[in-house]
Amino acid sequence: MKKILIINGPNLNLLGNREKTFYGDTTLEKIKSLCVKECIKNEIEMEFFQSNHEGELIEKIHSVENIYDGIIINPAAYTHTSIALLDALRATSKPKIEVHISNIYSREDYRRKSITSEAVNGIICGFGANGYLLAIEAMKKLIYNK
């Protein structure tokens, strides 16, 4: 069975309480639960990871090559600032999908540029928690070549 890593960046542990107009009231724990169900349905194993620390996110990405078949990542604020995450994502040959709960292209100017997207196969944004489920479906097609 294929296995994917779902990575969540800084402040996503505050979902459900944080800026509900942009992020809704769904918690990260609820998103994890939805992802587990979607992965079971799609015959994919998953690990769900969140950190507020850039170095921990980078270390997790470095672990991908020999353990996982793909990455779904919500880099959160690091999307717009982290060349280090971009470099880590570029270092793995596995398929990668970037997810954002809000539509970053309808937000503030500084949020409209995704540095990390240069290293991923595609981006899903603006669909709330459902974006993760769409990413799992897309990842299934990438890793099973369907």
The CATH number of the domain where 99 resides is what? 3.40.50.9100
User: What is the predicted pLDDT for the residue at 25?
Assistant: 77
144 backbone dihedrals φ, ψ, rounded to 5°: -100, 0
Q: How many domains does the chain have?
A: 1
Q: Give strand pairing partners of 3.
A: 45
Instruction: Find out whether 79 and 114 touch, Cβ atoms under 8 Å.
Output: yes
Q: How many CA atoms lie within 13 A of 103 on its CB side?
A: 4
% of the chain surpassing 70 pLDDT: 92
Its domain, for residue 69, covers 2-144
Residue 59's CB is within 10 A of a number of other CB atoms, namely 12
User: What is the predicted pLDDT for the residue at 17?
Assistant: 77
Alpha-carbon distances, residue 88 vs 9, 46, 105, 132, 138 (angstroms): 14, 20, 24, 21, 21
pTM of the model as a whole: 0.92
- 23 counts as catalytic: yes
Catalytic residue among 53, 100, 110, 144: 100
**Per-residue tens of pLDDT for the chain, all 146 residues:** 999 999 999 989 988 876 666 666 789 999 999 999 999 999 999 999 999 999 999 999 999 999 999 999 999 999 999 999 999 999 999 999 999 998 887 677 766 789 999 999 999 999 999 999 999 999 999 999 85
Token pair 């196969």 in the structure block, residue: 121
- 78 counts as catalytic: no
Catalytic residue among 23, 68, 78, 132: 23
Instruction: Find out whether 78 and 114 touch, Cβ atoms under 8 Å.
Output: no
